[in-house]
Amino acid sequence: MSDKELRLLALDGGGIRGLSTLILEQLMEAVNPDSPPKPCDYFDMMGGTR
């Protein structure tokens, strides 16, 4: 078994889902405004609901 920690991004459904996505987008742009990283560059797994 690997000692690497698993980084999971979970975006659940509901009215807040759109807000969470916008916040994530702004955080990624803050990391590097010229070439924002993708969430997959930081998270091992991503999941959510509609």
Q: In the chain, where are the structural domains located?
A: 15-48
pLDDT band, residue 20 (cuts 50/70/90): confident
Beta bridge partners of 47: 10
Q: What is the pLDDT of residue 16?
A: 64
Q: What is the dihedral of CA 21, 26, 27, 30, to 10 degrees?
A: 160
CA torsion 13-19-23-24 (nearest 10°) is 30
pLDDT of residue 1: 60
In this prediction, residue 44 carries a pLDDT of 95
* β-strands 45-48, 8-11 pairing: parallel
The position carrying tokens 């702004």 is 26
pLDDT at 5: 92
Query: Rounded mean pLDDT of the chain?
Result: 85
Give this prediction's pTM. 0.64
